[in-house]
Amino acid sequence: MEFYFQCAVIVIGVIGTAANGMILYALVASDQHKKHVLIVNQNLFDFFSSFFLIIIFSLKLCNIYLTGATGYWLCITILSECLWTWTAFGSIINLAIITVERYLKIVHPVWSKKKLRNWMIYSAMAFAWISSLTNNLALVFPTTAVVDGNCYAYVMWESKIAELINFFYSFIYYYVTMILIFTFCYWRILVVIRRQARVMAAHSGRSSTQTQAQTHQLNRIQSNVIKTMLYVSVFYAVSWLRSIYLDYCLS
């Protein structure tokens, strides 16, 4: 079962790498990558996450006996899934940044036009990469070791208390906080769009066809926001809760 699971993960990695690669190519070819830098960054995270899955689980299928410095660094960098964890958690942070940016541009359009600058966006993108890398490196080195030729990652804790502190930190930071950000921001966006739709609807009966078309567009945007809020919040909550629960049980 473990063999087939690893093969399935490799297939998922191949599909994810190809799909995100095509999206990145389309954004660059259509010259949209400069307008949607956060979306490009999100696809980069997902591209490398999928690519690292291929590398990591292909090596795991080889059952390499780890020895010496080469075996240690192979365990730390690849077999520990450190690279995948880096990009996966960075993807979560970047997704929250995208949500906050949408919130600011829709709920506070005047403030965002005056105060929101490109350097802030690029700094947030850099934060997603650097913070996830720093957090991951701080964990992988003291808790990973090679024993009898096998790699044991994130299990060599100094004490049970340290492990529990890390668990609750990860749970609050990567799960609770992110869900609160998604829920609050998309809820506020929905409130603003509904308010605009009501104003347009009040004028549609006595105004031109153009106003009616704008009302229809706002209704469509409202529907898209609701779908996005549900998809992002529900799927994130379900998938990552299962992952956190399994980590807690295994620990």
Q: Would you state the pLDDT for residue 222?
A: 61
Higher pLDDT, 239 or 28: 28
- Average pLDDT value for the chain: 84
What are the Cα distances from residue 58, in Å, to 8, 23, 152? 11, 25, 17
Range from 45-59, 102-116, 126-140 carrying the lowest mean pLDDT: 102-116
pLDDT band at 41 (very low <50, low <70, confident <90, very high): very high
Strand partners, 146: 151
Q: Alpha-carbon torsion 199, 200, 205, 208, what sign?
A: positive
Scan for tokens 């769009």, then name that residue: 193
Mean pLDDT of 218-232: 67
Work out the average pLDDT over 88-94.
Answer: 92
Tell which wins on pLDDT, 23 or 209: 23
Reported confidence tier of residue 190, pLDDT bands at 50, 70, 90: confident
- Matching residue, tokens 């490799």: 10
Residue type (1 letter), 195: R
Six-digit token pair at 7? Answer: 């093969």
Please give the biggest Cα pair distance in the chain: 80
pTM for the whole structure: 0.85
Confidence band (pLDDT; 50, 70, 90) for 36?
confident
CA distance to 9, 48, 172, per residue, from 124 (Å): 30, 19, 20
Q: What is the mean pLDDT of residues 14-40?
A: 90
Helix 177-204 vs helix 209-250: crossing angle, to nearest 10: 170
C-alpha pair distances (Å), 92 with each of 86, 119, 194, 210, 232: 10, 21, 28, 40, 11
